[in-house]
Amino acid sequence: MSQTQHAPTPVSGSRSGPPPGSPTAADLLDFVRRTAADTALIASLPLDPEGRTWVRLDGPGGSEAWLIGWPPGTGTGWHDHAESLGAFATARGTLKEHSLAVRLPAGGWKNLELADGVDRRRELPAGQGRAFGRHHVHEVLNESGTEHAISVHAYYPPLPLIRRFSRSGAVLRLEQVERPEDWQ
């Protein structure tokens, strides 16, 4: 039998930071913005018309970083990055982000009923980026029907896992947990 929990009160960010000397969300945002402005690097990414492409990069202070190509009409689906801080910046095209202003329970649930007012949306054209804290739940989309988008992402600590979700109205459902070996 599936267990349904109600989402906690909306939150605006993470309560605890990374260990001293580790990159902060602001450091990651600075890195992804500078990297997204590297036109030679951006032009070097092979683009596939059928699916997303990615190349792993060296991020600051031991962080994990990726250069990602997004064909028209592609997206990530709803997911989080567990205990990692993160940032991403659009280098080419426009990406849209839908996010939830809640902190999800760490485990023990399959279905979660979201409270009203937790949805956030933003558009990130080339040159724009954003940072986020731990447990950030979002989906990223290239809604263009004709243009590839390219973005740079960084996470610290390196991603221990990604939880993937589906969403139907106010209900968020945990569908899958991926580990680094699943995407590297």
> Greater confidence, 5 or 107?
107
pLDDT score at 116? 94
- H-type alpha helices, 37-138: 39-44
Residues 6+ apart with CB under 8 A from 101: 10, 11, 12, 117, 118, 119, 120
Residues 6+ apart with CB under 8 A from 122: 96, 97, 99, 130
- The CATH code that applies to domain 4-182 is 2.60.120.10
> Greater confidence, 108 or 173?
173
Q: Using an 8 Å Cβ cutoff, are 37 and 131 in contact?
A: no
- Considering the chain, what is the average pLDDT of its residues? 88
Q: What pTM value is reported for the model?
A: 0.85
What distances in angstroms separate CA 11 from CA 119, 133, 160, one per listed residue? 12, 11, 23
Q: Using an 8 Å Cβ cutoff, are 4 and 112 in contact?
A: yes
Q: How far apart are CA 69 and CA 54, in angstroms?
A: 6
pLDDT score at 12? 40
Q: How far apart are CA 84 and CA 9, in angstroms?
A: 21
pLDDT score at 183? 67
Confidence of residue 184 (pLDDT cuts 50, 70, 90): low
Residues 6+ apart with CB under 8 A from 100: 114, 118, 119, 120, 137, 138, 172
pLDDT score at 180? 82
Identity of the amino acid at 71: P
